[in-house]
Every structure is written in structure tokens, then in C-alpha cells.
Amino acid sequence: MDAPSHLLVMALFAACVGIAGGVLTEDTPPQQARSAAKIFGGLLASGIALGWLLYLFPF
């Protein structure tokens, strides 16, 4: 059986953190969903951007 991809695991982690963060920081369900989506998108985008940055400029 193949191991799951790093991108899939990162997206799953971002989704879990986004949902938990949205529920804990906002009051109403629409606000919670909006906040969770923002956190998810921010984590996913920053992870991909940091990955490309480190790929282009290895240390």
C-alpha cells in the first residue's frame, strides 16, 4: 500500500486545525465556517509557498 502524499496530509492537518480554530474563535456557525475556511486556506497557501521557497533556495 502506498503512503499518502505530503500534500494530502498537509491539507488534512490544515482542515482539522481550521475547523477547531473556527469553532473556538467565532460565535455563529456562518462565522465559524468562514473563519475555518480562512485558516485552512492560509495554512495551505503558506505551506505551499514555504515549500517552494525552500526548494528554490536550499540551505
Q: How confident is the model over 9-32, as pLDDT tens digits?
A: 999 999 999 999 999 999 999 999
Q: Which three cell numbers stand for residue 40?
A: 485552512
- Does residue 37 sit in helix, strand or coil? helix
Q: By percentage, how much of the chain surpasses pLDDT 90?
A: 85
The answer to whether the beta carbons of residues 20 and 50 sit under 8 Å apart is no
